[in-house]
Structures are given as structure tokens and as C-alpha cells.
Amino acid sequence: MTDPASPRARRLVVHTRETPHIEDVLAYADPAHPLVWQRRGDGFVGIGMITALEVGGRRPEPEEGTRAAALAEAWRAVADAADVRDEVGLPGTGLVGFGALAFADGSASTSTIIVPRAVVGRRDGRSWVTTVRWADAAEPATAPEPRAFGPYWSATLGPGVLDAPGYQAAVRAALAAIGEGEVSKVVLARDLVGTVPAGADVRRLVRALASGYPDVWTFAVDGLVGASPETLVTVTGGTVTARVLAGTASRGADADADTRASLDLATSAKDQDEHQYAVRSVLASLRPHTTALASGETPFTLKLPNVWHLATDIEGELSYGASALELVGALHPTAAVAGSPTPAALAAIERLEPFDRGRYAGPVGWIDAAGDGEWAIALRCAQFGPSARTDGHSWQLERTRQVIAHAGAGIVAGSDPESELLETRVKFRPIVDALA
């Protein structure tokens, strides 16, 4: 665990004040390195960085437990020492850390919690500004100001390490492993790589995703930008909720075709099996931490602009004061992004995917001083460099900035390699369209 400001030895002073209505919080974010959590027009952005908690990558790995557990412990120390004055009292006010964790604890990418110097937010018709400083530092002299958006830009994307034929070959290898009883389900991803102009205003990508997919979580943390439909876990005042998505179908070209696509998904034995693996993994992970836990008896079909998903909502009451980050550690990786059984699925992923996923399909979200927070799974996303590539390639960054995106599909008995490839193309669409 590293932290250049040594938060264990210093105390943060945090003050949240209500402000007049803020129409566009995104305008306050850093154009090159935005910190954003947004949904349905509400959300908040971080400005600057006062400190960061990091594990993995070039940082030391935790001696015991997962990266999420190590970050949860470090965050608790920071929060316990902080002097927080919150005059608003809404989710996202007070002390807030923005987090993005790598998919695998052995990843070359770091897992991080960033504490910004200021937060600008709006929720339920109210707006606020939070300032954060060290106790031995002076109050900020000026309030945050919005910044004009830079010019439009586009990315150049192409096949990555695993191209389309390679992906289909990986799916066939996964089906062989399933047939041999090694694993019941494995989620395989492929990658696209490319560049964007140096100095590109990344907020434009955030805005495009938020406008096109307003009902999902739009996020930007440490160069990871995306729009995820899947809530990993939300913790609010002792209540925990989660939404499981597994099983996917493309939207139909017209109303009749769309209805058929939804019905076919709802009645697909293959997709129902895939979904139940994911639901069972979440319930099993949450059960030790809850006194009451309930889920829908049958999944419902969730409509997004580009796909239908099978979805199940889960809700429970925490049995002790677990933080959102502790539950992230208990839940990740779910069967929806890894497979089942988890250890065998992770081994298959490591064998069949010729790249490090980085933060793709890892937890992304925020946590506050009480341990409450909202965390999604980093899907429909792209990682901006220089940390985007982790396979040793060098890049010329003078005129461009690298970007890498991933999309995956759940492979179970009966999966078809061509159909799974098409599913990844559909899942790439949100981020590819926004980058274009």
C-alpha cells in the first residue's frame, strides 16, 4: 500500500456545503483525467487529487487477502481520522473516494482509491460542493469553476491481441473445458486497441455515454471510462442491494423483432443457465454478511439501447458494519464476469485470454466516510494510457494517447463461437460508437 501523503499520519478536513443549482457537474471535471460517477443526470465529479491509496501493479501486493480488502482497511483508517462536516447529507457528500480495481489481483494494473481536492455534485434536486484539505493546510481560496469543453475528437480502433478468429478459437477451447467437466461457465473477453489525439477532452466521451445510456452508471476513474449496466453492490445505511446481469440478446431491428428477441432471451435454456450461475454466486457471497437476503424468483428482461439482458435484483440487510469495499472484496469476481466455479473459471481465463484484462470487468465506484457507496462492474469501458497497455509495448505519446477496450461473453454448454463473437460486437458498440 502506498500513499505519498501518508494519510495514516495526517488528518483530512472535509466540508460539504449546499450550493445553488448546478446544471452540468461534468463541466467541472478535469478534461484530460476526469473523475465522474453519474446516472440519470445526477452524480458528482472529483477535481484534482489530494491523495490516493494504491495496491498492485508496481505497488506492493497485500501480504494477506485481496486488494479490495487491503484498500478497505486503508480507507477505514483514512475515514476514521478525517474531520468531516457535511451540511447536505446525501449519498456522495462528505468524504468520498473514487475507486477502480483491477479484475485480477495479479494484474499489472494498479487498484486505486482517489480522494479529490474537491467534489461537485447534484442529486434529488440539490447541489453541493465538497472541499478536502489536510488539517495543516489553509482553506481553498477559490471555489471550483466549470471549464469549457474542448473540441470534438475521435479514436482510431482496431483488433487487439485477440482478433475475431482467435476469439472463436478461444471459445472452442472453453467449450472443450466445459465438456471435460473442468468448468461449468467461463467468461471470455477480447480486446480492441487504438489511439486518441493527445490533449483530447475525455469529458466528451463521458457525455456521449451518459447521453446514449442514461439509465446505467457512467464513470471515469484514473483513465477508465465507461457506462456499466451492472451494479456490483450498493450499501446505504445497513442495506445492501445488487443487480445481476447475465444472458444477452441484441435488440431487434423493429418493434416485432425486438419483442421476439426479448421473448427468445427469456425462454432460452442456455441463457437462463448462464444467469442462474451468476445469481447463485452473488447470493453465496452476500449470505455470510447479511441477516436477511432476497432475490427475484425469476429474472426479468432489462432493455438497454443496444441489448436485452436477463436481470435479477437482490436486496439484504447487513449483519454487521461491513463497508461497500469489504462487500466488493467478497463479491468480486462474480460468475457474470468470471464463470463457475470461480477458481476453475479464473484459471481458464488466464490460459485462454492472451492479455491482462487490467481493470476491465473489475469493480469501479465510490465509497464515503461511513463505508457506504455504489460499485458497478467496469463494462462497456475503455482504459486510457499510458497505463492502458500492460504487455510491454512502447507507445509514442507526443501526438496521441493510447486506449484499449474489452468486451466478453459467457460461455456455457451449447454456446456457439460465432454467436459469442457477435455478442462481443454488440457489447463493444456503446464504447466504440462513443469513441467515434
User: What is the rounded CA–CA span in Å between residue 95 and residue 258?
Assistant: 44
User: What is the rounded CA–CA span in Å between residue 95 and residue 368?
Assistant: 5
Q: Does residue 93 contact residue 355 with C-beta atoms inside 8 Å?
A: no
Q: Does residue 1 contact residue 51 with C-beta atoms inside 8 Å?
A: no
Catalytic residue among 54, 185, 374, 420: 185
In the structure grid, which three cell numbers stand for residue 326, read together? 469489504
Q: Is 423 a catalytic residue?
A: no
Q: Does residue 326 contact residue 290 with C-beta atoms inside 8 Å?
A: no
Owner of C-alpha cell 432475490: 295
Owner of C-alpha cell 441463457: 271
User: What is the rounded CA–CA span in Å between residue 270 and residue 2?
Assistant: 45
Q: Is 230 a catalytic residue?
A: yes
> Distance from CA of residue 284 to its chain's centroid?
21
For 171, the 3-state DSSP assignment is: helix
Q: Does residue 111 contact residue 40 with C-beta atoms inside 8 Å?
A: no
For 372, the 3-state DSSP assignment is: coil
Q: Does residue 360 contact residue 406 with C-beta atoms inside 8 Å?
A: yes
Minimal CA–CA distance to 82: which of 94, 90, 71? 94
Catalytic residue among 63, 64, 182, 230: 230
Minimal CA–CA distance to 97: which of 66, 81, 76, 70? 76
End-to-end, the C-alpha distance of the chain in Å comes to 37
Number of other residues whose CB lies within 10 A of the CB of residue 182: 15
Which 3-state string (H, E, C) describes 123-148? ECCEEEEEEEEECCCCCCCCCCCCCC
Which distant-in-sequence residues (6+ apart) come within 8 Å of 77 by Cβ? 7, 8
User: What positions carry a catalytic annotation?
Assistant: 185, 230
